[in-house]
Structure formats: structure tokens, C-alpha cells
Structure 1
Amino acid sequence: MEIRSAQQTDIESILDIYNEAILNTVATFDTELRTLEQQTQWFHNHGELYPIWVAEQAGIIIGWASLNPYSDRLAYRRTAELSLYIHSDYRGKGVGKQLMKQVLDAGLAAGLHTVLSRIVVGNESSIHLHQVYDFEHVGIMRQVGFKFGRMLDVIMMQKML
């Protein structure tokens, strides 16, 4: 498996992994599938400060991670929000751990200071992965999402780079 910086040619694979998560998980609170046009715009809104990395195996993208702007207010410029999604066939095999390390290292090198993650309550594997990389639990937002017919709580985790 190779972990590398995402390229424009990876956008469709990133989109496929993300849309599967929209349809089948509460890892994202998006409820409508993204289009290729939307994902291309998302890709171009990133850059050195907000990197995107992919995991590739045998020419297939099996996961991706990105650091995203937390807010458009300039005082938050050095704060990012982490996204991490793994193809359903490769979850639980260490791909997320490798991607997270790489994207956090890239964020530090780019000059980011703080990384935040919002994780749905009950996603113990994601919470554990964040704890491996020294994210701290900083709060719970109660009943902030509604998906699959139920209200969902979200844990906020934070890491200083």
C-alpha cells in the first residue's frame, strides 16, 4: 500500500468512497450524494495548508484523509477539521492509521496548529484511532444531527500539532 498526496485523477475514487459513507454510515452527516462537480470544487479548495492524502493499493484508491478549513473567518486559518474515509472492503486493516499519520504530519509541516474532529457517538473505532494520535475529548454536542431516522450526538476531539 502506498500513502501519497492526492491528485486530480483521484477525485472520482475519493467521491465513490465518500458517497458510500453517505449512503451507509453516520461517519458523515451528509444525506445527499455528492456530484463529481461538487467533489472537484472541494478538491480545488484544498492546497498545501489543507492537504488531501490517499491510500492506494494495486492501483486502487482504498481510502483518503484531508484537513479542511474549519471556518472561513481568518483567525481560524491555522485550525483544520479532519476527514478520514476508508473503502468499506478495507476498514479495520490499518489503512486509517497510516492515512491519519501522514495527513497530520503534512498539516504540521504546512503550519497548522490545531486539528478538530467531529465523531458520532458510538463510533468507537474512530474514537480509538484519534486517541492513538493523542486527540483529546473536548465535548459532546447533543442531538445535532438527524440521519437514518434518529437524532445523533457528536463528540468533538482536538489535537494540537
Structure 2
Amino acid sequence: MKIRKMVEADWPKVSEIYADGIASGYATFETTIPSYLDWDKAHLQQCRLVVHEKKYILGWAALSPVSSRCVYGGVAEVSVYIGKENRGLGLGSLLMKALIQQSEEIGLWTLQSGIFPENEGSIKLHEKMGFRYIGKREKVGKLHGQWKDNLLFERRSKTVGMD
């Protein structure tokens, strides 16, 4: 399995994996797959990755800006999605390691994630990768008419933003 930069031609498989996450009900507040153009606008141009085996995309990761204010220019929100048939194989760890490395190469000092409490796999992945739990937003939004909590995790770089 290898990791490479995500390109627009990957969108059909990336969006299929995203659809699996949406269908699970515990990966995102999104309820429909955005167009590639909308997804592209919402994510940083750098730090877009896919993990693949031969020509098959098994998972993806990307970063979104948390704010347009310049003071938050070094902070990004993490998205990591693994196809349902490939979960539990360590692909999330591979993607997250590469994402952390690339984020530091472009000067990001903090990565953050909001995770539904029921998404135990994502919580374990973030903890394994050095993210720390910083709090819970209770009933922060509704999904299919049900209030959802969101657990906040962050990872502070040990090399970027230390001055």
C-alpha cells in the first residue's frame, strides 16, 4: 500500500468512501456528497492524500482551514476516511502520519478534529497519533433530527510554531 497526493480524477472513489462515512451516521454532519468543486473549495490545496493498492483507492485524508482569520493560518481540521471494507488494517495510521508530516512541512502548528463519541475507531486513531482530548461540545448540531455531541481533539506540532 502506498500514499500519494489526491488528484481530481480520484474524486469518484474518494466520494464513494466519503458516502460510506456519511451513511454510518457517526463520521460527519454532512448528509450528501458535495460536488468536487464544493469539496475542493472547502479544503486546503496541500495535504490531500489517498492510500492505494495498485489502482484501488482504499482511503483518503485532507485538511480544511478552521478560519479565514490570519491568526488561525497555522491551524487546520483533519478529515480521514477509510473504505468500509478496509477499516482496521492500519490505513488510518498511515494516512495520519503522512498528513502530520506534510502539514508541518507547510507550516501548520495545530491539527484539530471534531469526532462523534460513537466513532471509537477515529478516537483511538487520534489518540494513537498524539492528539489530545480538549473537550466536548454538547448537542452542537442535529443529524437526522437527533442532537449530536462532538469531542474535540488537537495535536500541537513539536517542531512548528515553537518560537
TM-score, normalised via structure 2 length: 0.89
Aligned to 1:52: 48
Aligned residues: 157
Q: Any idea what the Cα deviations from partners look like across 1:86-134, whole Å, max 9, x if unmatched?
A: 1111011111110000001100111100000100012221111111111
Question: Displacement of 1:149 after TM fit?
Answer: 4.1
Correspondence 1:1-161 to 2 at 5 A? 1-42=1-42, 45-48=43-46, 51-161=47-157
Name the CA shift for 1:104/1:46 in 2 (closer, same or farther; >3 Å). same
Q: Any idea what the Cα deviations from partners look like across 1:13-35, whole Å, max 9, x if unmatched?
A: 21121122222332011112323
Question: Displacement of 1:148 after TM fit?
Answer: 3.9
- Corresponding residue SS for 1:116: strand
Cα contact 1:11–1:39 (8 A) shared by 2: no
Name the CA shift for 1:24/1:123 in 2 (closer, same or farther; >3 Å). closer
Cα contact 1:19–1:34 (8 A) shared by 2: no
For structure 1, which segment, 115-124 or 12-21, has the greater mean C-alpha deviation from structure 2 after superposition? 12-21
Question: Displacement of 1:40 after TM fit?
Answer: 4.5
2:120, 2:40 → 1: CA distance?
A: 31
1:124, 1:20 → 2: CA distance?
A: 16
Name stretches of at least 5 consecutive residues in structure 1 with no aligned partner: none
Cα contact 2:15–2:33 (8 A) shared by 1: no
CA-based RMSD: 1.5
Question: Displacement of 1:147 after TM fit?
Answer: 1.8
- Corresponding residue SS for 1:46: coil
Identity of aligned residues (%): 32
Question: Displacement of 1:2 after TM fit?
Answer: 0.7
Name stretches of at least 5 consecutive residues in structure 2 with no aligned partner: 158-163
Cα contact 1:26–1:147 (8 A) shared by 2: no
Cα contact 2:26–2:118 (8 A) shared by 1: no
Question: Displacement of 1:56 after TM fit?
Answer: 0.7
For structure 1, which segment, 27-36 or 77-86, has the greater mean C-alpha deviation from structure 2 after superposition? 27-36
TM-score, normalised via structure 1 length: 0.90
Name the CA shift for 1:40/1:136 in 2 (closer, same or farther; >3 Å). closer
1:102, 1:138 → 2: CA distance?
A: 23
2:22, 2:93 → 1: CA distance?
A: 21
